[in-house]
Chains A and B, each alone.
Chain A
Amino acid sequence: QSALTQPPSASGSPGQSVTISCTGASSDIGGYNYVSWYQQHPGKAPKLMIYEVTKRPSGVPDRFSGSKSGNTASLTVSGLQAEDEADYYCSSYAGSNFWVFGGGTKLTVL
């Protein structure tokens, strides 16, 4: 069982927006502004999409955005495109447990 809870699946049509939630605790998401999100296509390594809750690395489209409220973080993908279909993982710094991950959400573009 993962430390952070994500829905197993999410979907949307091209051009639509979809939001993926990630629920933790005050010892991880709620206690630090070190939430990150990763995109993983089948057979590939994870790719950093969001760090420090809301920041995007260079090269990541601004269609991807992150937010946090209390112990829950969210990733929103706007203007869905076919290439956004992938698994998405949230992660948080967790003090003594260092890093914790969510179980992953499979995003399907209909």
Chain B
Amino acid sequence: EVQLVESGGGLVQPGGSLRLSCAGSGFTFSSYSMDWVRQAPGKGLEWVSYISGSSSTIYYADSVKGRFTISRDNAKNSLYLQMNSLRAEDTAVYYCARGDFWADYWGQGALVTVSS
């Protein structure tokens, strides 16, 4: 059974940093592209970042470019999102998801709250 489990969410002050992790299991992690998608409270879905299976291709949404860094460790079946210079508008549930042109599996989400 494919499972994606996020961790690392929490409360952080504006300008602060946080690192999210996503542990994958039940599939050959290195063979799949992965993504981060977020959802602000009461709002819709917003794609954040993409990384290919080999980490050779990475994309970011304009809203996070230069502040967020996506990475993965295939030996640990893990995906990461380093978030720096956080803003109030980054407050959201962050989902890791598997796929490139669509996401066939999603994690349960990690809540990130940016507030003083």
- CB-CB under 8 A from A48, the residues of chain B are 102-105
Q: Is the CB of B102 within 8 A of A46?
A: no
Q: How far is the CB of B37 from chain A (nearest CB, A)?
A: 8
Contacts of B44 in A (CB 8 A): 2, 89, 101-104
Q: Are A45 and B106 in contact (CB under 8 A)?
A: yes
Q: Does B88 have its Cβ within 8 Å of any Cβ on chain A?
A: no
In the complex, are the beta carbons of B46 and A98 less than 8 A apart? no
A98 CA to B105 CA, complexed, in Å:
18
B-side interface size class: 10 to 19
Q: In the bound complex, do residue B95 and residue A98 qualify as a contact, i.e. CB atoms below 8 Å apart?
A: no
B53-67, CB < 8 A from A: 59, 61
Contact assessment for B95 and A91 in the assembled complex, using a CB-CB cutoff below 8 Å:
no
Task: Please report the C-alpha to C-alpha distance between residue A99 and residue B47 in the assembled complex, in whole angstroms.
Answer: 6
| Number of A interface residues in the complex (CB < 8 A) | 23
Interface 1/0s, chain B 32-59, versus A by CB < 8 A? 0001010000001111001000000001
Residue of A nearest to B93 (CB): A45
**Is B107 positioned at the interface, with any CB of A under 8 Å from its CB?**
yes
Q: Which residues of B contact A (CB under 8 A)?
A: 35, 37, 44-47, 50, 59, 61, 95, 101-109
Given contacts A36-B103, A45-B109, 11 further A-B pairs with CB under 8 A are A2-B44, A46-B95, A46-B103, A48-B102, A48-B103, A51-B101, A51-B104, A89-B44, A97-B61, A99-B50, A101-B47
